[in-house]
Amino acid sequence: MTTHRADTDSFNAGSAAQGAFATYLVGGAVRDALLGIEGSDRDWVVVGATPEAMLGNGFTPVGKDFPVFLHPRTKEEYALARTERKSGTGYKGFTVYATPDVTLEEDLQRRDLTINAIAQDTDGNLIDPWGGVRDLQNRVLRHVSAAFAEDPLRVLRVARFAARFADQGFTIADETRALMHTMSSSGELKDLVAERVWREFDKALQENQAQVFITVLHECGALATLLPEVDRLFGVPQPEQWHPEIDTGIHTLMSLQQACRLSNDLAVRFAALMHDVGKGLTSAEDWPQHIAHEHKGVQLIADVCQRLRVPTDCADLARLSSQYHTHCHQMQVLKPATVLKTLEGLDAFRRPQRLQKFLQVCEADARGRTGLEAQAYPQANLLWQCFVAADEIDVPTLLAHKPVPPGPEAGEKIRNMLHQARLGRIKDTLTRLRAAP
């Protein structure tokens, strides 16, 4: 393991007057170094210091809820050793104690997982009072202490770490799973602020195995509170002819997994997660058919995005993917007018990059089915080629061939000419490509 040393020069001036204190590298930097992962941000904990001592040594305060300081040269974060006591509900319902007598072991005890509760001193020695090294070796995610249950956000964090380290074979300890289920049933997840919830979703959806995050939340009961629109999809059947996996929830997980393989874009992955939420509104007597689920999902997605403060680009792509994904699947038989309507609905002529992302969502949906994960998806290229052909239409060229007299109706006439010209190009493209072997 690489030895990390603190830049301690800034402690020299006035340290005798201020009193001795020690610094330790903690958290993700230690964990990732033990796993052979490079590039993690370095965070430090300071034992035996006061805020006045930190200021006297040139550190800049940045913490609002507890004492955190930036090093005067490296700008790395140094937090005073602290303990926390539950004093309310939700993420911020804590009273923080950060006095010089707080020990390193006490500071590490308040952390979420044992693998995140390992410290390293300035000589490279590990301090591991809670068995984090052992759990790293055994590939286990285990909570440090009963204090884990005091912070409901940790349910999401464990699910996120499960996704991050899924490729390395990590699993969640049985006792931690049981505690997460108890916490999810307590109702405290409802007290989490939307921005914090979305931040965890944002980070988790960018992991290679993002579907593990959703799976863990579903299994412990948290998804029913945080994202019920997706949670209710589990157990909802689809026609086996088109969906060999049958279960809509399983299909959603598979689609998200495929989206992770196709794209690193957060909006694509979020849209893949949300594309079929309309099926959760289908009456049981209508199963396994899901008529108009595309349009039913649009309002559900709008509600989710408002509730979780989802960024606009993610919200827009998710909504449009729900509305139009079956159009893309049907490109081999879709009428030219419907193809153009789809492109216009996606605002593809002004936002071609959005169309590219939409096509990735549709491909992820098509491949998110048992036994069809590697299936070709020519529909994406067919819709793209229709767009390219229609987008080549140039308004000045149109007007050169058929001028439009100025007047109050000129704008509408030009729009109609453009529409018809694009439609003609799409017809020609479909005829040519559909006839190709």
What CATH number is associated with residue 94? 3.30.460.10
Strand pairing partners for 141?
172
Best CA proximity match to 198, nearest among 315, 357, 87: 315
Q: 167 pairs with which residues across the strands?
A: none
Do residues 254 and 276 lie in contact, with contact meaning Cβ atoms separated by under 8 Å? no
299 part of a folded domain: no
Q: Please state, in angstroms and rounded to a whole number, the distance separating the CA atoms of residues 407 and 393.
A: 23
Q: DSSP of 101-152, one letter per residue?
A: T--HHHHHHTSSBGGG--EE-TTS-EE-TT-HHHHHHHTEE-BSSGGGGG-T
What is the rounded distance in angstroms from the CA atom of residue 278 to the CA atom of residue 387? 27
For 10, the enclosing helix (H) or strand (E) is helix 9-12
Pure H helices in 23-121? 28-35, 51-56, 104-109
Q: Give the domain range for residue 11.
A: 1-132
Q: What domain count does the chain have? A: 1
What is residue 16's three-state secondary structure? helix
Tens digit of pLDDT per residue, the chain (437 long)?
555 566 555 454 334 334 468 999 999 999 999 999 987 889 999 999 999 999 999 999 997 777 899 999 999 999 999 987 765 555 555 578 888 999 999 999 999 999 999 999 999 999 999 999 999 999 999 999 999 999 999 999 999 999 999 999 999 999 999 999 999 999 999 999 999 999 999 999 999 999 999 999 999 999 999 999 999 999 999 999 999 999 999 999 999 999 999 999 999 999 999 999 999 999 999 999 999 999 999 999 999 999 999 999 999 999 999 999 999 999 999 999 999 999 999 999 999 999 999 999 999 999 999 999 999 999 999 999 999 999 998 888 788 777 777 878 777 888 888 999 999 999 999 999 998 87
Q: DSSP secondary structure string, 306-343?
A: HHHT--HHHHHHHHHHHHHHHHHHTTTT--HHHHHHHH
- Considering the domain boundaries, does residue 38 fall inside one? yes
Please name every residue paired with 58 in a beta bridge, in sequence order, or none if there are none.
Answer: none
Judge whether 118 lies within some domain.
Answer: yes
Reading the block at residue 165, the tokens are 């380290």
Strand (E) or helix (H) holding 22? strand 22-26
User: Does residue 123 lie within any of the structural domains?
Assistant: yes
**Is the residue at 261 inside a domain?**
no
- Half-sphere exposure of residue 37: CA atoms within 13 angstroms, side-chain side: 13
- Environment class of 209 (CB within 10 Å of its CB; exposed 0-12, middle 13-18, buried 19+): middle
* Residue 384, in any domain of the structure: no
Cβ-based neighbour number of residue 109 at 10 Å:
16
In a domain, 387, yes or no: no
User: Is 58 part of any domain?
Assistant: yes
Does this model's pTM top 0.85? My answer is: yes
For 275, list phi and psi in degrees, rounded to 5.
Answer: -65, -25
Concatenating the DSSP letter of every residue in 382-437 gives: HHHHHHHHHHT--HHHHHHHS----STTHHHHHHHHHHHHHHHHHHHHHHHHHH--
